[in-house]
Amino acid sequence: MSGSMKRNRFIPFRKADLVEMCVKDLRLTEAEVKEFKEFCQILEALFHFEFHTRLEKLKTYYGPFNPDADTRKVYNYSEPEKKNFQKKLVSEMTAVLNAANFEKVTAEDLQQALSDNLYFKNLDNNAGVFYHLIDTAEEEEFKEAVLAYYFLLTAKDPMTKKELDHRIENWLAEKWDCHIDFEIGDAVNKLQRLNLIQQDAEILQSVPLSEAKQQLDTIWDNFFTYNSNK
């Protein structure tokens, strides 16, 4: 893969540590701390489920090319089918790499890496790459969402996206000596997708913790809708 994949967008704290960093910021009441931790718990579960689905996609797309497979093949793919799987693999891998806050790579970079086996050579097996990247991407998605929600929740007044970005970056730099380029666009998009924030023109405001937990719980309950009694 051409060039090094720097991670200047990477948030260098564990998920659990980041939650505690927010709690120890002392902007939440005792009751809010309990709700905030519950909010983080279900948010983490949602992202874990979503990224497990992405992992299964990667394994499916890579299956026809996996030299380390210890399972039997039940289908011989044609060359056009293999090319289609490879395109899907490259597309999904690129998305996961970006979610994990690696520097952006092009599809051509990734295609070359897959062809030459360069990207996988230092791992026990190729499938291990997927587990590592999915885990990193899942952590970054969670940390971005938590930071954006926390700073909107605790703000005295609603903020613009730019103001929120500066607030988070300044807090990390001044309090934790951590200088990053926070992915504010991705963070806000995630919160909007989950209906955890409200937007009026350029002004952003979080929904209350109790409402946020209910919203996430509703999403979780509707991942599967097989129960006709719902």
Name the pTM for this structure: 0.82
What's the rounded Cα separation, in Å, for the pair 192 and 184? Answer: 12
Asked if residues 137 and 100 have their Cβ atoms less than 8 Å apart, the reply is yes
Provide mean pLDDT across the span 124-151: 86
What pLDDT score was predicted for residue 1?
33
pLDDT given at position 5 = 43
Q: How open is the CA angle 221-56-43, to the nearest 5 degrees?
A: 35
pLDDT at 19 (0 to 100): 97
CA dist 20 and 9 (Å) reads 21
What does the pLDDT look like over 76-116, one tens digit per residue? 888 899 889 888 988 888 888 888 877 665 667 666 655 55
CA–CA gap between residue 209 and residue 195 (Å, rounded): 12
Q: Find the mean pLDDT for residues 49-55.
A: 91
| Interval 42-61 mean pLDDT | 92
Q: What are the tokens at 176?
A: 């934790």
Whether residue 35 contacts residue 209, with contact meaning beta carbons closer than 8 Å, is answered with yes
pLDDT confidence of residue 90: 84
Tens-digit pLDDT profile for residues 110-120 = 666 555 554 44
